[in-house]
Structure 1
Amino acid sequence: MTIARETYLDLLKELVAIPSVSAKREHLPEAANLIADALTELGGETTVDDHYFAPLVISLFKSQKQNAKTLIIYNHYDVQPAEPFDLWKSDPWTLTEREGHLYGRGVDDDKGNITARLTALAEYLDENKGELPVNILFVIEGSEETASQHLDDYFKEHPEIQGDLIIWESGSKDKDGRVVLTGGNKGIVTFNLKAKTGGIDLHSSLATVVDSAPWRLSQALATFFSTDGRIKVLHFYDQVKEPNQRERKLVNLLSDTKEDFIKKNQIEAPLLTDKRGDDWKQALYFEPSLNIEGITTGYQGAGVKTVLPAEATAKVEARLVPGMDPDKTLTTIKEHLVAQGFEDIEVEKTLGQGGYRSDMTNPEIERVINVSKQETGEDPVVIPTSAGTGPMNYAYEATGTPIIALGIGYPGTLDHAPNENIRLKDYDENVEFLKAIIASYKE
């Protein structure tokens, strides 16, 4: 193991020990400053912008090459909550090695990716007498797990964030061990719905004549969907940007079968796409969704309480594909509720960001695809978008720069879950991949 790898694995240990949970707004400046110090020590021109609750870290490493291109490296230092703690086999805030794996909250998402990239840069500088063939600009935020609040504001404050390619926060290998390169993600709008049918909870004997908030809310929610999961909100699909033929083909080439998908996710109910005769892969990557995250109402204690609840709330999300604006989508949902006779249901937006899909034929993205093939001897898995959500659209709108995601994960990484982990083998291979990407700019 090189000195750089030891150094930044020690940094990873320090970072994992910081419970930088953006949902709780805890320990974010502490993590940002630790990363900023490491970047400065490595030679970067580093700024910590703390205008908002989650500081943004920016660090530039300049090339000596004339007219050098700029590679932007985007990451985040915030993590998901670690609860439930009793499901962890070791302390989530202590980096723990077992049988070639590293365990800890954020070890993949996204602190381990940060230290892998620092390791690659440090080793490249050491092996090339401190000279870079490309400018490298780190942009590291602290609210990715909470819809990247204020990241768009930070981009407006820092118009100097411009480049030729963005290496996105993280990525994985597939079940066959092939490198996966992803070029986009879905957007999201989250909102609360509230039904209120009275000033106080009532005796349930009055249910023959008095409507309850839970019934009112559940009836409103039921109007969103057909029985096969198709979204019935008028104009919901109007803004959808359809994938092109190549994008559809790339998704069709993915090796996962429907049986793999069902087994991996422990699904017991029939797939909605089977009910309506649609292709599950195409739906997963290219269709928007509307999901009920949770419903809260009434008595939840032990035994029975015969009550007619006066209030009920639901947390709801819509995953958005490119072309869909979060606010316009929420407006269609509000208009739908009014049209269905539920104008009394209160709608409160909580978070929102647009989706993005890369052009996978862009020369800078093709550079990464070719480097991956040279490093591994086989074609990587190329996906034009992920099924998940992230702030790629903020970055693209601000910079116009193509984006490609890659990282240290594998199918058993368990991001956001107890026992989040990476394999040291994947970590080391990713460091070499990143070094090769930097070296490709010598040409």
Structure 2
Amino acid sequence: MKDLEDRIERAKDGLLEELRDFLRMPSVSASSEDPEGFRACAEWVREKLEAAGAQAEIMETAGHPVVYAEVGSGEKTLLLYGHYDVQPPDPLELWKTEPFEPTVRDGTLYARGVADDKGDVMARIQALRLYTERHGEPPFRLKFLIEGEEEVGSPNLDAFVRENSDRLTADACLWEGSLRDRTGRPEVYCGTKGLAYVELRAKGPDHDLHSMFGGLAPNPAWRLVGALRTIKDERGEITLDGLHELADPPSESDLAALEAIPFDESSLKASWGVESFDRDLTGVDALREYLLAPTANIAGIQSGYTGEGSKTIVPSEAFVKLDFRLVSGQSPDAVVKLLREHLDRRGFTDVEVVDLHGVEAAKTPVDSPVVEQAVAAWDDVGREAVVYPTIGGSGPTALFATGLGIPTVMTGAVANIDSRIHSPNESVRLDDYFETLAYFVRFFERFGR
């Protein structure tokens, strides 16, 4: 352990400057202003992978290219997923320093993308270099897939994975990095929730009417309110027919993992500015709802006049956007079908259901070998990891975990709970970065045994 720490300590300046070079590239996937600059970033990543000993290439998609690399040989295969694109830096006036000029203050590195996901990508590439310098080529196949469109929903990743499924086979996959909690403990995530994102639309008169006709003219806003009340009751419980029956029940290992998660309810409520959780949930019940249960969330409602002052009308149309976070067993397509049938049975055949976006849930058992290796590698660097059976968010993890059947976990923890991911002044602590670099070296060593 000491030898690895010493090697990283001696190389810190160069490792940090390499990371800063990566962060200076404004690879904002939401913008199409500099496609050549974006490709230059992908080429830079490819060159770094080759310098670390891998065979790397740029692979085209309908959007930004994927950087793919392989190194090593053996019976086992490990796939690493990451992304080199970043969020827009706006609003610029809230940054204390330039977002694409990485700046160190008080042991913390500030830059757009340092926590999501360039810090994690760079730590893995540098870890490969440190590993091969000491051990030579890995006694297993190590694959890198680093895409450039994660921050805009990975619109071309599904097609890429399907077209290259033979090349992407693996025994385990490390997704992009996790977080550290406020005590510094790294977290290991074993899954992501699915997502069904829909819009409900209701129509009234073919134009807005004076509200003196409010007792006669059908009001689409009230119509939507009625439809929504059938999806959740007054206690906040989801009442969508058949939704809970689709869900795979949590395992005993999942429930045991919940008991081991340190859950600071007071801090979380204070950070949100609320006095209680929905339905007054507390303790393990709140954690179970957050991690292992589906949700039905109103993301936005629009109808009629909402400007300053008064305008008395019956609106002609109303819209509501709903997102359902789903657990294993609840396919987004099946949930949208359930929603349509549920509304029809209650007389809301006139309310249109528009399917906007769907993502499958992904789940790796908490007692699987890759999770055990992830936790053990944290032990190797002197950290006790916290294992989450899944997280509340969604992502394309299911393309690998479900579609390709690869046990997939999120681990790495370059970032922390206060890293301001997607916000101005995004940051990571340098001590966390270098410790995570050591962690990936230890993970590679364990995987190769």
Structure-2-length-normalised TM-score = 0.89
1:97 aligned onto 2:104: yes
2:388 aligns to what? 383
Q: Is 1:204 paired with 2:211?
A: yes
Q: Which residue of 2 aligns with 1:46?
A: 56
Which residue of 1 is the match for residue 5 of structure 2? none
Aligned with 1:308 (options 314, 317, 325):
314
Preserved CA contact (<8 Å) 2:300 2:322: yes
SS in 1 for 2:357: strand
- The range that moved more, 226-235 or 146-155, is 146-155
Call closer, same or farther: CA 1:19–1:149 in 2, change over 3 Å. Answer: closer
Tell me how far 1:273 sits from its aligned partner: 4.0
SS state of the match for residue 415, structure 2?
coil
Secondary structure class of the residue paired with 1:108: helix
Go from structure 1 to structure 2 and tell me whether the alpha carbon gap of 1:11 and 1:276 turns closer, same or farther (over 3 Å shift).
Answer: closer
Kept in 2, the 8 Å contact 1:18–1:93? The answer is no
SS at match of 2:336: helix
CA distance in 2, matches of 1:104, 1:71: 29
Rounded to whole Å, the distance in 1 between the matches of 2:443 and 2:50 is: 22
CA distance in 2, matches of 1:7, 1:104: 13
Distance of 1:25 and 1:295 partners within structure 2:
32
Q: Which residue in 1 is equivalent to 2:148?
A: 142
Contact 1:173–1:410 under 8 Å retained in 2? yes
Which of 197, 202, 208 is matched with 1:195 structurally? 202
Q: Helix, strand or coil: the match of 1:294? A: strand
Cα gap change, 1:29 to 1:338, in 2 (>3 Å): farther
| Contact 2:23–2:112 (CA under 8 A) maintained in structure 1 | no
Whether contact under 8 Å (1:252, 1:281) holds in the other structure is no
Report how far residue 135 of structure 1 moved: 2.1
Aligned to 1:75: 82
- The one-letter code sitting in structure 2 at the alignment partner of 1:120 is A
Given the superposition, is the C-alpha separation of residues 184 and 214 from structure 1 closer, same or farther in structure 2, using an over 3 Å criterion? Answer: same
Matches of 1:420 and 1:82 in 2, distance apart? 9
Which of these residues, 213, 217, 220, is aligned with residue 213 of structure 1?
220
The answer to whether the 8 A contact 1:191-1:348 is kept is yes
Alpha-carbon spacing, 1:290–1:302, altered in 2? closer, same or farther (3 Å): same
1:442 is displaced (CA, Å) by 4.5
Distance 1:4 1:184, change over 3 A: farther
Task: Note closer, same or farther for the CA distance 1:79–1:298 as it changes in structure 2 (3 Å cut).
Answer: farther
Contact 2:53 2:132 in 1 (8 A): no
Q: Deviations over 1:206-249 (max 9, x none)?
A: 22321233222233223211122211111011111111112111
Asked if 1:58 corresponds to 2:63, the answer is: no
Residues 91 and 224 (structure 1), Cα distance of their counterparts in 2 relative to 1, 3 Å cut: farther
Alpha-carbon distance between aligned partners in 1 of 2:215 and 2:33, rounded to the nearest angstrom: 46
1:5 to 15, 23, 27: 15
Distance 1:91 1:298 in 2: 41
Cα pair distance change 1:279/1:442, threshold 3 Å: closer
Residue 338 of structure 1 corresponds to which residue in structure 2?
A: 344
Distance 1:54 1:135 in 2: 26
Contact 1:133–1:439 (Cα < 8 Å) also in 2: no
Q: CA deviation at 1:396?
A: 1.7
Structure 2 counterparts to residues 236-315 of structure 1, below 5 A: 236-268=243-275, 270-274=276-280, 279-315=285-321
1:366 aligns with 2:375: no
Identity %: 31
State the superposition RMSD in angstroms.
2.5
Task: Please report the TM-score for the alignment, with normalisation by the length of structure 1.
Answer: 0.90
Amino acid at match of 1:219: G
Q: Tell me the amino acid that sits aligned with residue 405 of structure 1.
A: M
CA distance in 1, matches of 2:96, 2:229: 40
Contact 1:11 1:115 in 2 (8 A): no
Partner of 1:350: 356
User: In the alignment, is the contact (CA less than 8 A) between 2:23 and 2:113 conserved in 1?
Assistant: no
Counterparts of 2:163 and 2:257, CA distance in 1: 37
Query: 2:390 & 2:69 partners in 1: Cα distance?
Result: 27
- Contact kept, 8 Å, 1:25 with 1:53, in 2: the verdict is no
- Is there any run of 5+ residues in structure 1 with no aligned partner, and where? none
- Change in CA separation of 1:92 and 1:345 when aligned onto 2, cut-off 3 Å: farther
SS of equivalent to 2:358: strand
The structural deviation recorded for 1:426 is 0.6
